[in-house]
Structure 1
């Protein structure tokens, strides 16, 4: 099958909220095809229809980031049609806003979705990235290192030679603590500790993977972004920004930021911050 030279952008978990608005912004400004993806096909196609009603032309494919088979099916589909992926926005994530302290099972499900899925995506989708591709990880101000207070992890996560295995140890240490009824490794007595750990881990992974890309000699950029406290279903309608405003910084990284901007933590107003202050 002939592979199209068309540029390709992919947004995970994008049938609503910030992800939906990122797809909309990409459809308006990205010179290529834009894939809106979702676990649920019906909701995904309904989201595509909303954008089509605005005169936009997103494409749809099912993608469950917690299922390696689903990621592989998507990768096979993209690889059979295009020369690679130019923009990948890792947006999929969950949070039960009604539970400030989660059970072990709930914490494991959240971390599987918000963080461990990125490991699977790295393994399966990253080989499809073009040499100058851009990856945007949707993090949070809860992804700043200041949300962690266990000294061993404060010291470990800032190491220049931090490894993915050490980040996985950090995550597993938290899950073991939850299983044992202790969540004091995160701030605020562990409130939303699983979400904070998942986003701190995402931030740390961003910096490790940027170092790996640079060592491999590729021009791929990967950055993480705090989109602001956005009103969404996940936050039960609470927040400071609309989803459209929340998409501003991710779209900046996808479309406007210099390719030399790599391995940074970007605030919702598009300026860089030190994640470990």
Structure 2
């Protein structure tokens, strides 16, 4: 019998680290902790090994196509496919409510655009009953967007990836024009909000595509709560361990029929577009 495989991006700290830990404790298979920095990734692995757990490590920079290809080559060489993929890697500078264009582009490339590359390179390795979990945010709810044209367009049943990219690019073009244009689409932390709304929308589009292809793959996005991590400067309501609760539910316990949903930190479904 082939060994199942779970992969967590950005798994060396915070919520990602706790998701890896939970998977190592309960997942019937091997668990890959990935990180873009090898030293920090190996340190995280060592911490888990000290708890008696046995994660595997692979370096992964989600913004680097070759890095994703290297991981895909490793998986295809050593395993028969991917059963669980947690897209957790993400960035946010909590000190910058308004970012420069360059900072906004870097954030969106990490939090959203990387998912398109991951989809192209890693998704062909998914098993037919694989589970994908996208770590979103309450800032990934559609209500964070201020422009009516996008409130209307992003909920359409025939939404395409190209249209999501139009939404993202409109924001980036606005970011080039300065503070007022930046604010006009999503307000403070608009780059993060746009990246997570785009992630949510992509989740629903890709679930529709899987269904049309006749695959039983599930893809859901999840708001883990306001979690005390390095990214939030230690502010928050929940510990990282509590923040991992809903992602682990989706990875391990949720019915396979749960597909294309936005899941709250307490594991209940919420309407993304309310």
The interval holding the TM-score normalised by the smaller chain is: over 0.9
- RMSD over aligned Cα, in angstroms? 0.7
CA distance in 1, matches of 2:18, 2:80: 26
Match of 1:122 among 96, 119, 122: 119
Residue 5 of structure 1, CA deviation: 1.1
TM-score by length of 2: 0.98
Aligned to 1:48: 45
Number of equivalent positions: 272
Structure 1 unaligned regions, length at least 5: none
SS of 1:184's equivalent in the other structure is helix
CA distance in 2, matches of 1:246, 1:127: 29
In the alignment, is the contact (CA less than 8 A) between 1:225 and 1:265 conserved in 2?
Answer: yes
- Residue 178, structure 1, aligned to residue 178, structure 2: no
CA distance in 1, matches of 2:86, 2:77: 21
Aligned to 2:130: 133
CA distance in 1, matches of 2:156, 2:96: 32
TM-score by length of 1: 0.97
SS of 1:36's equivalent in the other structure is strand
SS of 1:244's equivalent in the other structure is helix
Per-residue CA deviation, residues 213-265 of structure 1 (Å, 9 max, x unaligned), is 00000000000000000000000000000000000000000000000000000
Match of 1:154 among 138, 146, 151: 151
SS of 1:95's equivalent in the other structure is coil
- Residue 76, structure 1, aligned to residue 73, structure 2: yes
CA distance in 1, matches of 2:70, 2:10: 16
CA distance in 1, matches of 2:25, 2:200: 28
Q: Runs of 4+ in structure 1 displaced over 2 angstroms?
A: 184-187
In the alignment, is the contact (CA less than 8 A) between 1:95 and 1:234 conserved in 2?
Answer: yes
Match of 1:240 among 237, 240, 244: 237
Structure 2 unaligned regions, length at least 5: none
